[in-house]
């Protein structure tokens, strides 16, 4: 979490993050072999797309420009429903959310087919035009991608436009969520900025709105819910055949 350590005026720029430090699967620096694997992931599971890039940078270690950031990422995601034991998932007793959890888990299982995958940047990744690049070869499994996907889903922001995959924003993504945020992320030339939306006093939290999300979405992607969430909804499935059957049982089968 971030908080103000002095009086800060509305509209003050707190962080500037250049595009070169925004981790995205749309980055042209992604090697062709890794790109093919990323493109094989369904677009609705974008967090796994970004997660593959995160894993590549984690394997690169200190040779990655993201090394200081990656070293601070959590090693486990206890709040993520994807890592709940089966009994805990069944206890949720809310079919739409359970379906989304199972969808993500089934993808990880089917994507790897019980085996690991090796991805090599390839010999052509380092050439005369890019002599500073370092070739990386990584072997990953469902557990590794599950961790990386949870990192991406809980930390990425859509800042490159509505058609672009969300990007991970080091430092900025430390901000906690609030439906009454004290700051916002805005695009600017060459990157993004974290800017205050009101005056802040020392000790006040610097919070962002992750979006007008229901508790389903907040729990699934971020591992928490908001009490009295104004954007919360309950999804109900209505089966016309069951309604007609209930009318028959209730003696209303011939009623208008």
End-to-end Cα spacing for the chain: 59
Q: 92: Cβ–Cβ under 8 A, 6 or more apart, which residues?
A: 81, 98, 101
Can you give the C-alpha Rg of the chain in angstroms? 22
The tally of CA atoms less than 13 A away on the side-chain side of residue 216 is: 15
CB 11 within 8 A of CB 196: yes
- Print pLDDT tens along the chain (256 aa): 889 999 999 999 999 999 999 999 988 889 999 999 999 999 999 999 999 999 999 999 999 999 999 999 999 888 899 899 989 998 988 888 999 999 999 999 999 998 999 999 999 999 888 888 899 999 999 999 999 999 999 999 988 666 678 999 999 999 999 999 999 998 888 999 999 999 999 999 999 999 999 999 999 999 999 999 999 888 777 888 888 888 889 888 777 7
Query: Cα(70)–Cα(55) distance, rounded to whole angstroms?
Result: 10
Tokens found for residue 232? 């919360």
Q: Give buried/exposed letters for 70-108 (b at 16+ CB in 10 A, else e).
A: beebeeebeebbbbbeeeebeeeeeeebeebbeebbebb
What distances in angstroms separate CA 4 from CA 14, 57, 72, 182, 206, one per listed residue?
A: 10, 31, 21, 10, 7
Query: Cα(31)–Cα(122) distance, rounded to whole angstroms?
Result: 8
Which strands, in side-by-side order, build the sheet including 205-208?
A: 2-3, 205-208, 176-177
pLDDT for res 218: 93
DSSP label at residue 166: P
């Amino acid at each position: 979490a971030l908080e103000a350590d002095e009086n800060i005026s509305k509209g003050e720029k707190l962080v500037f993050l250049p595009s070169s430090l925004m981790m995205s699967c749309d980055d042209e620096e992604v090697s062709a072999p890794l790109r093919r694997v990323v493109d094989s992931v369904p677009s609705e599971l974008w967090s796994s797309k970004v997660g593959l890039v995160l894993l590549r940078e984690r394997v690169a270690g200190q040779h990655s420009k993201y090394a200081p950031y990656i070293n601070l990422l959590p090693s486990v995601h206890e709040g993520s429903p994807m890592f709940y034991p089966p009994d805990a998932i069944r206890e949720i007793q809310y079919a739409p959310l359970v379906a989304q959890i199972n969808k993500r888990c089934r993808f990880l299982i089917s994507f790897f087919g019980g085996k690991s995958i090796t991805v090599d940047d390839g010999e052509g990744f380092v050439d005369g035009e890019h002599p500073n690049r370092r070739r990386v070869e990584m072997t990953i499994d469902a557990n590794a991608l599950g961790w990386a996907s949870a990192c991406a889903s809980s930390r990425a922001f859509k800042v490159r436009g509505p058609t672009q995959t969300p990007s991970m924003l080091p430092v900025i993504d430390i901000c906690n969520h609030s439906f009454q945020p004290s700051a916002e992320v805005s695009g600017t030339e060459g990157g993004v900025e974290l800017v205050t939306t009101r005056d802040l006093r020392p000790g006040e939290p610097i919070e962002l709105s992750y979006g007008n999300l229901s508790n389903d979405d907040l729990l699934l992607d971020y591992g928490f819910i908001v009490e009295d969430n104004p954007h919360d909804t309950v999804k109900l499935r209505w089966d016309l055949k069951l309604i007609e059957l209930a009318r028959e049982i209730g003696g209303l089968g011939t009623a208008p």
